[in-house]
Amino acid sequence: MLVENILAAAQSIGVATLVAISIVCFLVVTIRNLVSTIQLLLAARVFATRIKPAQRSYDLWSRYADLALPISVIAPCFNEELSIADSARALLALEYPDHEVILVNDGSSDGTLSVLIEQFDLRPIEREQLAVLQKTRIRGIYGSARYPNLILIDKDNGRKADAVNAGLGFAAAPLVCVIDADSIIEPDGLLRAAEPFMTDDGSLMAVGGAIRIANGSIVEGGHVRQIRLPGRWLPRYQILEYLRAFLTARIANARLDMLMLISGAFGMFRRAPLVEIGGYRHDTVGEDLEVVTRIHRRMREDKRPYRVAFVPEVVCWTDAPESWRGLRNQRARWEQGALETILEHRRMLFNPRYGRVGMIGMPLIVIEDVLGPPCELFGYLLIPLLYLMGIESGTIVLAFFSITVLFGTAISLGTLALEEMQLRRTPSARDLFMIGIAAVVENLGYRQANLAFRIYGMWRFYRKDNRWAAAGRAGFSRG
């Protein structure tokens, strides 16, 4: 009875309309997969032809210690009393000749502030604010006699973008590193991210690094001591997504000078242009995508030479959602942020004034975030329906599922092989095999659920619902 009702409803819409929609869905999905294939091939070429960086931190230190530009590490924190002390110690211990750590307590309602004051012997200090970029009130500035390169800014709650802007206003170094306080950067991460700036002519605006899933790994003292595969399948699927995003898309886009996104979990920026454009926007849930897009726009409009780079050896570990609710909130927020950025910078679309960013980069975001989710999800429903109505042939159905499922699996396995050949972050052959299994199994529900979550993000965008929906992280496994 249900199938009969669906068929009747479909016939009432009109056969020609349904066929036209199915063709659009098929074309969009095909284009998305072709883009992913090109990105994978280009990333493989980049890995094969580039000069490999030094593998040991000592080599980097001896080569660049005298050239290292000072860095201000800005870490917003909100209600993180259980982990903030370890996170702060890990940031202070980063292997870099000259860096300060600016913690920004964004109006925490737990004991975050008192833990920091007690653990680091913080006292109120006077510090000049070089730029006022935040919207909320600064309640106090603290410094430590034991750690002279540690600064704590206590402010009213204003969400992450406002907290970063507060830290940016007090940062004195020419480079700023924005990192989530609950993320873990590897000890040599600052040095590797700063390396491109040391030999740059001033045109390098920002550098991104790879984000990896730390669920299941052992964390001690703010460092990942032992990499382990997550015990649950949900974060295992996310490992594949992060690999596809950071080892193919980011590398390929950076190579083509149209990298549009530097993850909010970790990114390094030249401070002056970031202040010049007003810092991060407060009225979007996708501030990381928007700020890089705005940098592109400003530099192109001012006709100034610039570039945005990506260094895959810079690894920042993050805690991925382990519940469907948390994953829904995260993916909906990402989708909503992308749509807000597209709307704000729509004049860049297909505008030759903005070079490859306008002609290729922005249209790719539209394909990925506007057309992609509904076309693929509707395709899963509509194309089999047309087959049941006797309108589409079985060949079309098979072709669609081959493009989505088989092609998608091949892209995932290709990215996994690239990661193993170049970076080798997977701890064992068994773990590599299990991730390979996840590349197949993710197509049986996880992928479709993600599409539904992103469409939910579209609904939030339509309603202009900018409330922050927490991802509900599980927390690191501590030794």
3 contact partners, CB below 8 Å, separation of at least 6: 388
CA distance 224 to 325: 26
71-116 pLDDT per residue, tens = 999 999 999 888 888 889 999 989 888 899 999 999 999 999 999 9
Spatial distance between the Cα atoms of 256 and 358, rounded to a whole number of angstroms: 13
Report the relative pairing of strands 266-270 and 204-213 from DSSP bridges.
antiparallel
Q: Tell me the pLDDT band of 54, cut-offs 50, 70 and 90.
A: low
- Least confident range from 39-48, 213-222, 369-378: namely 213-222
Helix axes 394-401, 15-49, angle to 10 degrees: 30
Q: Distances from the Cα of 52 to the Cαs of 35, 46, 60, 192, in angstroms?
A: 26, 10, 12, 12
| 64 contacts: CB under 8 Å, gap ≥ 6 | 191, 194, 195, 198
Grade residue 56 by pLDDT with cuts at 50, 70 and 90. low
pLDDT value at residue 149: 94
User: Mean pLDDT throughout 30-51?
Assistant: 88
On the question of pLDDT at 35 being above 60, the answer is yes
Q: Where are the beta strands (DSSP E) in 112-203?
A: 122-124, 138-144, 150-155, 175-179, 184-185
Please report how the helices 112-119 and 84-92 are oriented relative to each other, as an axis angle in degrees rounded to 10. 50
CB atoms near residue 125 (< 10 Å):
12
* pLDDT single digits (tens) 247-266: 899 999 999 999 999 998 89
Alpha helix ranges (H) inside 73-151: 84-92, 112-119
Q: How confident is the model at residue 339 (pLDDT cuts 50, 70, 90)?
A: very high
- CA 387-382-3 angle, 5° bins: 70
Per residue in 128-181, pLDDT (tens digit) is 999 999 999 999 999 998 999 999 999 999 999 999 999 999 999 999 999 988
Q: In angstroms, rounded to a whole number, what is the distance separating the alpha carbons of residues 159 and 282?
A: 8
DSSP lists the bridge partners of residue 155 as: 106, 138
Q: Is 146 exposed, middle or buried (0-12, 13-18, 19+ CB in 10 A)?
A: exposed
Q: Which two tokens stand for residue 297?
A: 């726009």
Q: What is the mean pLDDT of residues 291-307?
A: 96
For residue 402, what are the CA distances in angstroms to 30, 32, 70, 274, 445?
Answer: 10, 14, 51, 44, 16
Res. 20 pLDDT band, cuts 50 70 90: confident
DSSP assigned state of 11? H
The pLDDT value recorded for residue 55 is 58
